[in-house]
Amino acid sequence: MSFDVSVVIPVYNEKDTIKELYGRICRVLERDAGSFEIVFINDGSSDSSGDVIDELAASDKRVKAIHFSTNYGKSAALDIGFRSAKGRFIITMDADLQDDPDEIPKLIVKLEEGFDCVSGWKRKRKDPITKTLPSKLFNTVVRRISGLDIHDINCGFKIYRREVVEDLPIYGELHRYIPVLLKWRGFTIGEIPAVHHPRRFGRSKYGFRRIFKGFFDLLTVLINTRYRTRPLHLFGFTGMFFGLLGFIILLYLTILWFMGKGPIGTRPLFFLGVLLILFGGQLLSTGLIGELITRNSPDGNRDYYITRTVNF
pLDDT tens-place string over residues 25-64: 999 999 877 789 999 999 999 999 999 999 999 999 999 9
The half-sphere exposure of 155 on its side-chain side, counting CA atoms within 13 A, is 28
Quote the pLDDT of residue 12. 93
Quote the pLDDT of residue 214. 66
Give percent above pLDDT 90 in the chain.
Answer: 46
pLDDT tens-place string over residues 242-254: 999 999 999 999 9
Contact 37, 64 (CB under 8 A): yes
Please compute the mean of the pLDDT values over residues 178-199 and round it to a whole number. 86
SS3 label, residue 7: strand
Quote the pLDDT of residue 191. 93
Quote the pLDDT of residue 19. 95
Residue 102: CB atoms within 10 Å:
14
Residue 125 has pLDDT above 80, yes or no: no
Quote the pLDDT of residue 7. 96
Helix boundaries (H) for 147-230 = 162-165, 178-184, 209-224
Give me the residues paired with residue 99 across strands. Answer: 196
pLDDT tens-place string over residues 212-222: 666 777 777 77
Give Cβ neighbours of residue 160 (< 8 Å, ≥ 6 apart): 89, 90, 91, 92, 116, 117
DSSP 260-294: T----TT-HHHHHHHHHHHHHHHHHHHHHHHHHHH
Quote the pLDDT of residue 310. 61
The half-sphere exposure of 136 on its side-chain side, counting CA atoms within 13 A, is 9
Quote the pLDDT of residue 203. 64
The half-sphere exposure of 99 on its side-chain side, counting CA atoms within 13 A, is 26
Q: In whole numbers, what is the pLDDT of the chain averaged over residues?
A: 84
SS3 label, residue 125: coil
Please compute the mean of the pLDDT values over residues 5-22 and round it to a whole number. 94
Quote the pLDDT of residue 129. 67
Q: Which of 33-47, 127-141, 291-305 has the highest mean pLDDT?
A: 33-47
* pLDDT tier, 306 (very low <50, low <70, confident <90, very high otherwise): low
Please compute the mean of the pLDDT values over residues 111-136 and round it to a whole number. 80
Q: How far is CA 26 from CA 19, 143, 158, in A?
A: 11, 35, 17
Please compute the mean of the pLDDT values over residues 172-189 and round it to a whole number. 86
* pLDDT tier, 210 (very low <50, low <70, confident <90, very high otherwise): low
Which is higher by pLDDT, 225 or 25? 25
Residue 299 has pLDDT above 60, yes or no: no
Quote the pLDDT of residue 261. 79
Please compute the mean of the pLDDT values over residues 183-205 and round it to a whole number. 79
Closest CA to 197 of 118, 100, 268, 85: 100
* pLDDT tier, 302 (very low <50, low <70, confident <90, very high otherwise): low
Q: Where are the domains of the chain?
A: 3-224, 231-296
Quote the pLDDT of residue 311. 53
Long-range CB contacts (< 8 A, 24+ apart) of 57-61?
A: 60/22, 60/26
Write phi, then psi, for 161 (nearest 5 degrees): -75, 140
SS3 label, residue 90: strand
Which is higher by pLDDT, 200 or 300? 200
Q: Candidates 3.40.50.300, 3.90.550.10, 1.20.140.10, 3.40.640.10; correct CATH number of 3-224? A: 3.90.550.10
Quote the pLDDT of residue 130. 66
Quote the pLDDT of residue 230. 75
